[in-house]
Amino acid sequence: MKKKLKKGEKYDSYKFRILDLLKEKGPLHPYELEGQLKIPHASLVDCLSTLMAKGWVKRLEDGRYALFTYKELEREVEEVIKKFKERGFVEISINDVAYHITQPPEDIKRLVYDCAKKYKLKVGAKSVRPVILG
């Protein structure tokens, strides 16, 4: 007998299926995801929004969705840290970097430490207010 999923479990299942399909097929339009996965439109939109907010997928200029790769995240972290270095900072916080790339601090911690080392910056305590780079 097939187990009936609760709403939260169903959404998690949808998210994993979306990620799997994007990994397998590459960037896809929402209507392609909807058609291939047989996910209700409202659920698809909710799942894509959540996956974007968590940094797992990105929306391309042509409206397709794609996986956000580790290399892209690494490049974004490096660009932000480089800007801090150019502005004369000697110490940065993980929260400041996370603010500029809209990623949760816990997801980029290792990247920030590695990149800060490369640019000879110290990683300090959490900032009270994010430093805004132009």
Q: What is the pLDDT of residue 5?
A: 43
Residue with token string 């997928």: 57
Report if residue 119 sits inside a domain. Answer: yes
Do residue 48 and residue 93 come from a single domain?
A: no
CATH assignment of the domain containing 14: 1.10.10.10
Q: Count structural domains, the chain.
A: 2
Q: What is the pLDDT of residue 7?
A: 53
Do residue 57 and residue 11 come from a single domain?
A: yes
Distance, in Å, from the CA atom of 23 to the CA atom of 76, rounded to the nearest integer, reads 21
| pLDDT at residue 72 tops 60 | yes
| pLDDT at residue 129 tops 60 | no
Report if residue 56 sits inside a domain. Answer: yes
Report if residue 131 sits inside a domain. Answer: no
Q: What is the pLDDT of residue 60?
A: 87
Q: pLDDT for 43-65, tens place per residue?
A: 999 999 999 888 789 888 899 99
Report if residue 19 sits inside a domain. Answer: yes
Mean pLDDT score of the chain = 84
Do residue 12 and residue 52 come from a single domain?
A: yes
Do residue 88 and residue 106 come from a single domain?
A: yes
Q: pLDDT for 1-15, tens place per residue?
A: 444 445 555 667 889
Report if residue 1 sits inside a domain. Answer: no
Q: What is the pLDDT of residue 11?
A: 64
pTM: 0.57
Q: How far from 43 is each of 14, 22, 83, 116, CA to CA, in Å?
A: 8, 17, 38, 39
Q: pLDDT for 81-103, tens place per residue?
A: 999 999 888 888 888 888 888 67
Write the DSSP symbol of residue 33: H
Task: State how beta strands 91-92 and 65-67 pair.
Answer: unpaired
| pLDDT at residue 17 tops 90 | yes
Residue span of the structural domain in which 36 resides: 7-67
Which of 67, 86, 101 terminates a domain? The answer is 67
Report if residue 110 sits inside a domain. Answer: yes
Q: Are 97 and 108 in contact (CB under 8 A)?
A: yes
